[in-house]
Amino acid sequence: MSVIAVVGLATMGMNLARNLAHHGFAVSLYNRTTARVDDFMKQYGTEGAFTPARSPQELVAQLEKPRRILMMVKAGPPVDETIDHLAPHLDAGDILIDGGNSYFLDTVRRGKAVEAKGLRFIGTGVSGGEEGALLGPSIMPGGARDAYTQVEPMLTQISAHVDGEPCCTYIGPGGAGHYVKMVHNGIEYADIQLIAEAYDLLSHALNLGADELSRIFAEWNRGDLESYLIQITSEVLGKRDRATGRPLVDVILDEAEQKGTGKWASQSALDLGIPVTAITEAVFARFLSALKADRQHASKTLAGPNGAIRTAAPASLVDDVRSALYASKMVAYAQGFEQMQAASNEYSWDLELGSIARIWRGGCIIRARFLNRITDAYAQEPSLKNLLLAPYFRDAMASAQGAWRRVLSVAVERGIPVPAFSSSLAYYDAYRRDRLPANLVQGLRDYFGAHSYKRIDRAGSFHTRWSQDGEEVPVR
Ligand code: NBP
């Protein structure tokens, strides 16, 4: 008998099934197109205790009870179709696990529908791509805790481990797991955009080529910025194109694509009223990059500051950009964690933010040395309002801000777009201000719409009859 089934044997399902088998778990395999099951058995059948199934009936007969089925199918309607395909053959208490990148409100809906049938449902984020799935991903499971307990030994064993701790922990009920994965992906968008801006700045302001930039990122990976994304940036920049002999990055088309998790993260932040500027700018930057034809036209039409800049950027710009990247990254993470706290309050998930940072230290795409700092910050102060207020981050921002501002001056003078760098600094500068120009915003709103305003010196709401007698009147 198998202890778990994997349904959906594309990149992720195939590698997770192999990972489970490598850890000694007997795994049943099923896929809508059964040829994939046969291909899997031919290629990997000897790696572990695999049992192929060609129908849902065959699959359920192979599984120990309560049955545990990990679905790794394309997000969206395929998940509903797979549930509908399998559920009629399952018994009360059996557990369906959706390990794809599902939208968290779909997970809430599916959880309720599945539980109404007497089954149990787990919606789990899995990060790490192909390699992570095979060698140890970061796993973010959400749903009923009793269902999680039934799969915990498997999920923790196949997850990545850092300092002997698994990169898997129970996240919370309902859609909590997929929500946290969505914010993870949003932060990944922001991280990638910040790296791209650093690359763009150094290549344009200092005229550095891909090989030199590859060396710079490799150097940065030995310091505070040490992370998977910085490491692979160095590798991508160092790669030569076989066909042309040029750096491969120079022949890759500059149109970024996306699958939607960053957009969902931004949409949810807007719904929650949380200023998640770095992720949202990263999503917008991808949209703008996709307007290639428009940009090509505009590049010949719209004026920039080129030619006006005579002074060469100093070589110290490299260090400044490193500091600016680190500071902007801290803002992106602070915003993402604030968003998760807001969602936790809104949906009553009781998220443990320090534990989330802990399970992102290994396996996932945003794994980074500095996640330890986030775990430490929440360990010291579990009700921390904003990561930037924690002593480590407060001090790191204070020491990076000079470089950050110099970098933005260089970018603005030279017309180099740095939306994530600059919106992160604007967020920092706004967040640390006790008085913002929202007083004028309120005055204008009251002028044209009688929306009223509050005063700094008296309680209550007020309206001024701006264009009539100019009198201020209290609003009840
Ligand atoms: P894909 O997202 O490419 O999905 C392919 C799988 O979905 C195949 O097994 C396919 O079956 C199945 N499928 C489709 Br398409 N429509 C179906 C339907 N109507 N009913 C049943 N099965 C259906 O696979 P993936 O890249 O392995 O990703 C799986 C999940 O993990 C996705 O949600 C993805 O977003 C997420 N994820 C992916 C990565 C990554 O790096 N790729 C990382 C993290 C998370 P078929 O063989 O019959 O067409």
Q: Which DSSP string corresponds to 171-226?
A: -BSTTHHHHHHHHHHHHHHHHHHHHHHHHHHHHHHS---HHHHHHHHHHHTTTTT-
Q: Is 280 found in the same domain as 417? A: yes
pLDDT at 476: 87
Q: Is 352 a catalytic residue?
A: no
Q: Which of 30, 36, 74 to mutate to test the pocket of ligand 1 (most atoms within 8 A of CB)?
A: 74
pLDDT at 310: 59
Q: Is 411 found in the same domain as 269? A: yes
Question: Which protein residue has the closest C-alpha to ligand 1 atom 3?
Answer: 74
Q: Which atom, in ligand 1's list, is nearest to the CA of 77?
A: 19
Question: Which protein residue has the closest C-alpha to ligand 1 atom 24?
Answer: 10
Please tell me which residue in 47, 58, 152, 188 is annotated as part of the active site.
188
Cβ count near 406 (within 10 Å): 18
Domain boundary among 174, 206, 238: 174
Q: Is 154 found in the same domain as 31? A: yes
Whole domain around residue 342: which residue ranges? Answer: 181-431
Q: Return the bridge partners of 453, or none.
A: 462
Q: Is 243 found in the same domain as 359? A: yes
Question: Which protein residue has the closest C-alpha to ligand 1 atom 15?
Answer: 74
CA of 33 to the centre of ligand 1 (A): 12
Cβ count near 239 (within 10 Å): 14
pLDDT at 313: 77
- Please, how many CA atoms are within 13 Å of residue 187, restricted to the half-sphere of its CB? 28
Both structure tokens of 129: 């791509």
- Which residues are CB-neighbours of 222 under 8 A, at least 6 positions away? none
Question: Which protein residue has the closest C-alpha to ligand 1 atom 17?
Answer: 78
Q: Is 188 a catalytic residue?
A: yes
Q: Which atom, in ligand 1's list, is nearest to the CA of 11?
A: 27
What single string gives the DSSP state of each residue in 320-364?
A: HHHHHHHHHHHHHHHHHHHHHHHHHHHHT----HHHHHHHTSSSS
pLDDT at 306: 65
Q: Is 442 found in the same domain as 315? A: no
Q: Using alpha carbons, select from 191, 105, 183 the residue that is nearest to residue 351.
A: 183
Q: Are 320 and 407 in contact (CB under 8 A)?
A: yes
pLDDT at 152: 98
CA of 199 to the centre of ligand 1 (A): 32
CA of 11 to the centre of ligand 1 (A): 8
Q: Which residues line ligand 1 (CB under 6 A)?
A: 8-13, 31-33, 36, 72-75, 78, 81-82, 100-101, 126-127, 129-130
Q: Which atom, in ligand 1's list, is nearest to the CA of 102?
A: 33
Q: Is 200 found in the same domain as 101? A: no
Domain boundary among 123, 147, 174: 174
Q: Are 325 and 436 in contact (CB under 8 A)?
A: no
CATH number, domain of 450, equals 1.20.5.320
Q: Is 374 found in the same domain as 299? A: yes
pLDDT at 315: 77
For the stretch 440-474, pLDDT in tens is 999 999 999 999 999 999 999 999 999 999 999 99
Q: Is 386 found in the same domain as 284? A: yes
Cβ count near 212 (within 10 Å): 14
pTM reported for the whole predicted model: 0.96
Q: How many domains does the chain have?
A: 3
* 422: amino acid identity, one letter: S
Q: Using alpha carbons, select from 87, 66, 71, 91 the residue that is nearest to residue 1.
A: 66
Q: Is 362 found in the same domain as 265? A: yes
pLDDT at 395: 98
Q: Which atom, in ligand 1's list, is nearest to the CA of 130?
A: 41
pLDDT at 369: 86
CA of 73 to the centre of ligand 1 (A): 4
Please tell me which residue in 42, 65, 130, 181 is annotated as part of the active site.
181
Both structure tokens of 285: 């930057």
Exposed, middle or buried: residue 278 (CB in 10 Å: 0-12, 13-18, 19+)?
buried
CA of 329 to the centre of ligand 1 (A): 31
Q: Is 425 found in the same domain as 293? A: yes
Q: pLDDT tens per residue, the chain (476 residues)? A: 999 999 999 999 999 999 999 999 999 999 999 999 999 999 999 999 999 999 999 999 999 999 999 999 999 999 999 999 999 999 999 999 999 999 999 999 999 999 999 999 999 999 999 999 999 999 999 999 999 999 999 999 999 999 999 999 999 999 999 999 999 999 999 999 999 999 999 999 999 999 999 999 999 999 999 999 999 999 999 999 999 999 999 999 999 999 899 999 999 999 999 999 999 999 999 999 999 999 999 999 999 996 656 567 787 999 999 999 999 999 999 999 999 999 999 999 999 999 999 999 999 999 998 899 999 999 999 999 999 999 999 999 999 999 999 999 999 999 999 999 999 999 999 999 999 999 999 999 999 999 999 999 999 999 999 999 999 999 98
- Which residues are CB-neighbours of 276 under 8 A, at least 6 positions away? 186, 265, 266, 269, 335, 336, 338, 339
Query: Left if phi > 0, otherwise alpha if psi is -120 to 50, otherwise beta: which for 279?
Result: alpha
Q: Is 86 found in the same domain as 229? A: no
Q: Is 448 found in the same domain as 395? A: no
- Distance CA(39)–CA(31), nearest Å, equals 11
